[in-house]
């Protein structure tokens, strides 16, 4: 049995390392409590105990980071836990092997994101890597609470200064303040909710801390081009030198399709005899096949692209990289914005303008939803307020019906004439 002495600061300070081996100095007050003197000169506190017939040794603090008195108190706590049937070393090992948030993100990206569209998967992967992993990465999945979720989403909603680089190459950009991003916080909240729902299914945690995250108020963007702006845009596209980019923008306006759908369009998807465009599930946001009618103007663009493209190229708008569709039209759009004074108009606003023109033409919300490929009626309802004209006509009809009818009155002193009031 090893010799025991009362551990003190002086004992540890004066203890000499042994050549070629480590050794322990056991304490007289707490059973199993010792200071381990390493051959390299380091010192750490340990606790030896038996559990289920096995000899165990747990290292829990280094000297002088831990004082002898603090280590002795900790050893007493561990000894009480052991006497009650616990195994603190096994608990530590289990905790060390428990999945962390980085493991959850990795499995989520590997198993769930492939089910989404390429764009959605890329957005979620980027958000998790840049906004979630740096904050929670080393935490255990079971350690994340609803408070952690609220703090993270509050930070994201507050936005960040633009640009985010420490040394921007443009002084004007450096002066831009942080811009609130409540929509981004809501989207990441939805990603976290789905990710932790899967974690519960995988047995990595018992409840979902993001199940009832605080959703920020979103103000839907409502920018519709006026007739004058549409005419100006059409003229600018007709005069543009980059015919490929001009036709992409024109198709966005003529079909109400998303930019990504137009960029990835293939000749085989268009039936010019029946005047239709069949988008495959992999190309749509809802991951569903979407067939829509096209106008004569859209068909003319497709025919013209067929004449310009060499045989064997499947893309309506092939990119500069062989075998790939065009990837970038932002620079072209920036030039169009400047030419037409449309600095506040996004390419996606052309989709909203398409819907507004349908409304003004008398189309129903159900028809608009089908043309835009909405899977939920709630999405289409954002255009309901544009239908004020028929609603106002109905209100006017009620007012006319309720309006008092003219009646005849007799003027005093004149029994022969009557006057309408």
Select from 3.10.105.10, 3.90.420.10, 3.30.160.390, 3.30.420.40 the CATH code of 9-97: 3.30.160.390
- Report how far apart, in Å, the C-alpha atoms of 115 and of each of 120, 121, 329, 356, 407 are: 10, 8, 27, 32, 72
**What per-residue confidence (pLDDT) applies to 217?**
85
| Residue 94 binned pLDDT confidence (cut-offs 50, 70, 90) | low
**Residue 260 near residue 316, CB atoms below 8 Å:** no
What is the sign, positive or negative, of the torsion defined by CA atoms of 114, 116, 119, 120?
A: negative
pLDDT exceeds cutoff 80 at 5: yes
**What per-residue confidence (pLDDT) applies to 367?**
81
Question: What order of strands is seen across the sheet that includes strand 276-279?
Answer: 270-271, 276-279, 290-293
**Top-confidence range, 23-27, 177-181, 287-291, 352-356:** 23-27
Q: Is the pTM of this model over 0.75?
A: no
| Residue 161 binned pLDDT confidence (cut-offs 50, 70, 90) | low
Q: Which residues face 300 on adjacent strands? A: none
The fold adopted by the segment(s) 227-386 is hpI Integrase; Chain A (1.10.443)
The residue that leads in pLDDT, 381 or 252, is 252
The residue that leads in pLDDT, 346 or 356, is 346
Average pLDDT estimate for 81-93 = 82
List phi, psi (to 5°) of 277: -130, 120
By percentage, how much of the chain surpasses pLDDT 90? 50
**What per-residue confidence (pLDDT) applies to 126?**
94
**What per-residue confidence (pLDDT) applies to 381?**
64
- The residue ranges of every structural domain in the chain are 9-97, 101-201, 227-386
* DSSP 8-state assignment for residue 54: E
**What per-residue confidence (pLDDT) applies to 378?**
64
DSSP string, 242-284: -HHHHHHHHHHHHH---HHHHHT-BGGGEETTTTEEEE-GGGS
pLDDT exceeds cutoff 60 at 61: yes
Residue of 64, 235, 214 whose CA lies nearest to 152? 214
By percentage, how much of the chain surpasses pLDDT 70? 83
What's the rounded Cα separation, in Å, for the pair 215 and 156? 12
Phi-psi region of 90 (alpha: psi -120 to 50; beta: other; left: phi over 0): alpha
């Amino acid at each position: 049995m090893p010799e025991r002495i009362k551990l003190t600061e002086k004992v540890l300070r004066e203890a000499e390392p042994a050549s070629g081996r480590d050794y322990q100095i056991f304490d007289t007050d707490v059973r199993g409590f010792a200071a381990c003197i390493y051959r390299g000169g380091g010192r750490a506190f340990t606790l030896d105990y038996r559990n289920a017939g096995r000899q165990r040794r747990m290292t829990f603090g280094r000297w002088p980071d831990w004082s002898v008195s603090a280590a002795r108190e900790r050893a007493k706590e561990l000894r009480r836990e052991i006497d009650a049937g616990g195994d603190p070393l096994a608990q530590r090992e289990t905790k060390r092997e428990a999945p962390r948030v980085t493991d959850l993100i990795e499995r989520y990206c590997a198993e769930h994101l492939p089910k989404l569209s390429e764009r959605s998967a890329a957005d979620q992967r980027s958000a998790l890597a840049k906004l979630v992993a740096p904050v929670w990465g080393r935490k255990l999945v079971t350690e994340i609470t609803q408070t952690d979720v609220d703090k993270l989403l509050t930070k994201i909603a507050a936005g960040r200064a633009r640009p985010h680089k420490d040394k921007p190459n443009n002084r004007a950009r450096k002066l831009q303040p942080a811009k609130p991003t409540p929509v981004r916080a809501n989207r990441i909240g939805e990603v976290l909710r789905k990710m932790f729902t899967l974690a519960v299914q995988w047995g990595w945690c018992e409840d979902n801390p993001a199940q009832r995250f605080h959703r920020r108020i979103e103000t839907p963007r409502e920018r519709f081009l006026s007739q004058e702006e549409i005419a100006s845009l059409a003229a600018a596209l007709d005069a543009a030198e980059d015919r490929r980019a001009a036709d992409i923008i024109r198709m966005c306006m003529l079909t109400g399709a998303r930019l990504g759908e137009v960029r990835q369009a293939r000749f085989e998807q268009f039936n010019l005899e029946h005047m239709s465009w069949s988008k495959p599930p992999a190309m749509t946001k809802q991951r569903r096949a979407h067939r829509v009618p096209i106008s004569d103007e859209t068909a003319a663009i497709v025919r013209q692209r067929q004449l310009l493209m060499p045989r064997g190229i499947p893309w309506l708008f092939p990119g500069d990289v062989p075998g790939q569709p065009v990837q970038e039209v932002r620079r072209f759009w920036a030039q169009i914005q400047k030419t037409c004074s449309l600095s506040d108009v996004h390419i996606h606003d052309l989709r909203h303008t398409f819907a507004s023109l349908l409304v003004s033409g008398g189309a129903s919300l159900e028809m608009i939803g089908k043309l835009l490929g909405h899977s939920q009626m709630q999405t289409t309802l954002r255009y309901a307020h544009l239908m004020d004209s028929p609603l106002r006509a109905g209100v006017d009809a009620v007012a006319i019906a309720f309006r008092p009818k003219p009646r005849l009155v007799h003027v005093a002193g004149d029994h022969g004439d009557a006057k309408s009031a």
